[in-house]
Structure 1
Amino acid sequence: MIRSELIQKMLEEHPDLSASEVESIVNLFFQEIIDNLAKGGRVEIRGFGTFTPRPRMARMGRNPRTGECVPVAEKNAVHFRPGKRMRERLRAQGSGD
């Protein structure tokens, strides 16, 4: 699902809201998650999962085009851990295939 599909689904579920209101809500939701993670905070959405920033150590990488070794700086990456309800639903769906 992409952002525009999420907005469309919310419009179907809440016809009393305008498209611009729904878009503002979705944008605010994602922006708050991004801002909190950028500050080093943790974001937990019960039943869905938890987003946490995790440091990645500096390392030597490789340019795939030239094969040359290049230094890759230390950085933060986002780790997602699915919530209990999501894990259970995915397991149930996987066993039915």
Structure 2
Amino acid sequence: MTDAGTLTRADLAEALHRQVGLSRADSARMVEQILEKMCGALARGENVKISGFGTFVLRDKGERVGRNPKTGVEVPIAPRRVLTFRASQMMRDRIIGAG
């Protein structure tokens, strides 16, 4: 891993190269294809579920009133679409067990 505990695309491609035996170029291409497939599904409004890992879910949040923390003035917050991630139970168990 690079960067103080950050897993990158390059790290994923390198792991594919070492563990599966694909060339570095093929490994990088495969990582990009997987990420592109996930992004495309999310852009079409589909959720992405990876069994044993988790689910990426799109939610539409309605307009609401917020407050400026500095001034205390109420301001409208526009409706927007947000992306959330919900870890699978298997992932949660692994993370809690590792901590």
Aligning the two structures, in what range does the TM-score lie when normalised by the shorter sequence? 0.7 to 0.9
- Counterpart CA distance in 2 for 1:58 and 1:51 is 22
Quick one: structure 1 residues 58 and 92, their matched pair in 2 at CA, closer, same or farther if it must change by over 3 Å?
Answer: same
Instruction: Render the CA deviation track for 1:16-49: whole Å, top value 9, x for unaligned.
Output: x222211111111011111111111111100000
**The 10-residue stretch of structure 1 (68-77 or 42-51) with the greater mean CA deviation from structure 2:** 68-77
Within the candidate set 68, 82, 85, 1:80 is matched to: 85
Whether 1:55 aligns to 2:49 is: no
Q: Equivalent of 1:13, from 6, 10, 19? A: 19
Aligned to 1:37, what secondary structure does the other structure show?
helix
The normalised TM-score by structure 2 is 0.75
Work out which of the residue numbers 2, 25, 30 in structure 1 matches 2:8: 2
Q: Distance in 2 between matches of 1:69 and 1:23?
A: 47
Q: Which amino acid aligns with 1:87?
A: R
1:71 deviation in Å?
Answer: 5.6
Q: What's the % identity of the aligned pairs?
A: 33
Distance 1:39 1:69, change over 3 A: same
* Secondary structure of 1:30's aligned partner: helix
CA RMSD of aligned residues (A): 2.3
* TM-score, structure 1 as length reference: 0.77
Query: Which 5+ residue runs of structure 2 have no aligned equivalent?
Result: 1-6
Question: Partner letter of residue 56 of structure 1?
Answer: K
Runs of 4+ that moved beyond 4 A:
59-64, 68-72
Shift of the alpha carbon at 1:72?
A: 4.6
Q: How many residues were matched structurally?
A: 93
Structure 1: gaps spanning 5 or more residues: none
